[in-house]
């Protein structure tokens, strides 16, 4: 990874309030770069942009001709002090990070009411679709169906907050979705927070992209099974997560990325430690 890309992931993105953590940021980068390398192009979309932390990561690794669409309700209460509301803060964050912000590519509204044409008319078939909007069952099912209908044959769908006890319906929704569409869609990757899905034909390509990406070697790669598919689960030990947070909070953000450089021993199925 270039120094600039490292600085973007570990420092600039942290200036945007939000939720994607380093392992998933590195997986997004690895998959987007693997697609680009194999000429698997297309639009990129995210439901649930909040203030743009993962949206700007997608922008960073999109090709210049590719469009990145963001969808959000943008209904968070405006700050009492009269400062920018959620939508304008997203726009401001984008400009500050050096991105051109096109209002036609930021949809303000309920994702469950979107049609496939709302997406494809703006960005064409999608190569990477991140779902991080409403976390109840009907949201997840609607967003997953929408994503399935707009992805290219090589498209990837990423679900956030899977297996998080705080959002049990996300897990149910993703399992229901995969059990209904398992003839064509399968899981190939998992992290503590996200589940990565693609068409069966691309399973080995994306599993391999994760397996060999040099920037993911600091994480343990654990082979597991999920609904009939072999999955690479990236395990990030608790001690590293704690150390990373401590460094960031004590103003050592610039050094924190070093924690994600060290190589750990590869482990096979069944690693139990957190
Ligand atoms: C957890 S935040 C997303 C975090 C973001 N991806 C990041 O990187 O920081 C969830 C977002 O989903 C949005 N949201 C919730 N329900 C939605 C819906 N039905 N349609 C569109 N957006 C929705 C919320 O407004 C909120 O901004």
- In the reported structure, the alpha carbon of residue 204 is separated from the centroid of ligand 1 by a whole-number distance in angstroms of 30
Calculate the alpha carbon distances from 125 to 46, 68, 80, 120 in Å: 13, 11, 40, 6
Cβ count within 10 A of residue 37: 9
Sheet holding 106-108, edge to edge: 106-108, 68-72, 43-47, 126-131, 151-160, 194-199, 185-190, 229-235, 220-226
DSSP 163-175: T-TT-HHHHHHHH
Q: What is the pLDDT of residue 234?
A: 95
User: What's the distance, Cα to Cα, between the start and end of the chain in Å?
Assistant: 27
d(CA 43, CA 57): 14
**pLDDT tens readout for residues 179-236:** 999 999 999 999 999 999 999 999 999 999 999 999 999 899 999 999 999 999 998 8
Its pTM surpasses 0.75: yes
**pLDDT tens readout for residues 223-270:** 999 999 999 999 887 777 777 777 777 777 667 777 777 555 444 444
Q: By alpha-carbon position, which residue is closest to atom 22 of ligand 1? A: 72
Q: By alpha-carbon position, which residue is closest to atom 21 of ligand 1? A: 72
- In the reported structure, the alpha carbon of residue 37 is separated from the centroid of ligand 1 by a whole-number distance in angstroms of 30
**pLDDT tens readout for residues 96-127:** 999 999 999 999 999 999 999 999 999 999 99
- In the reported structure, the alpha carbon of residue 52 is separated from the centroid of ligand 1 by a whole-number distance in angstroms of 10
């Amino acid at each position: 990874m270039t120094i600039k890309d490292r600085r973007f992931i570990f420092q600039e993105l942290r200036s945007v309030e939000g939720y994607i953590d380093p392992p998933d940021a590195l997986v997004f980068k690895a998959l987007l770069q693997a697609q680009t390398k194999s000429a698997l192009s297309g639009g990129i979309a995210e439901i649930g942009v909040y203030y743009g932390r993962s949206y700007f990561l997608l922008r960073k690794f999109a090709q210049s001709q590719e469009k990145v669409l963001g969808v959000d309700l943008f209904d968070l209460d405006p700050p009492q002090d009269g400062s920018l509301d959620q939508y304008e803060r997203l726009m401001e964050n984008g400009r500050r990070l050096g991105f051109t912000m096109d209002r036609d590519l930021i949809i303000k509204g309920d994702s469950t009411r979107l049609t496939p044409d709302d997406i494809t008319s703006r960005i064409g078939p999608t190569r990477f679709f991140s779902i991080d909007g409403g976390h109840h069952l009907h949201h997840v099912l609607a967003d997953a169906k929408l994503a399935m209908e707009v992805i290219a044959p090589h498209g990837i769908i990423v679900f956030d907050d899977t297996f998080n006890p705080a959002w049990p319906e996300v897990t149910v929704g993703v399992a229901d979705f995969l059990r209904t569409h398992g003839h064509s869609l399968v899981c190939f990757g998992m992290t503590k927070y996200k589940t990565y899905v693609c068409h069966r034909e691309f399973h080995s390509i994306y599993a391999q992209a994760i397996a060999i990406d040099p920037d993911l070697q600091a994480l343990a790669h654990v082979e597991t099974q999920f609904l009939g598919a072999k999955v690479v689960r990236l395990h990030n030990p608790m001690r590293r997560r704690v150390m990373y947070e401590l460094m960031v909070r004590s103003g050592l953000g610039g050094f924190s990325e070093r924690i994600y450089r060290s190589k750990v021993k590869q482990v096979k199925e069944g690693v139990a430690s957190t």
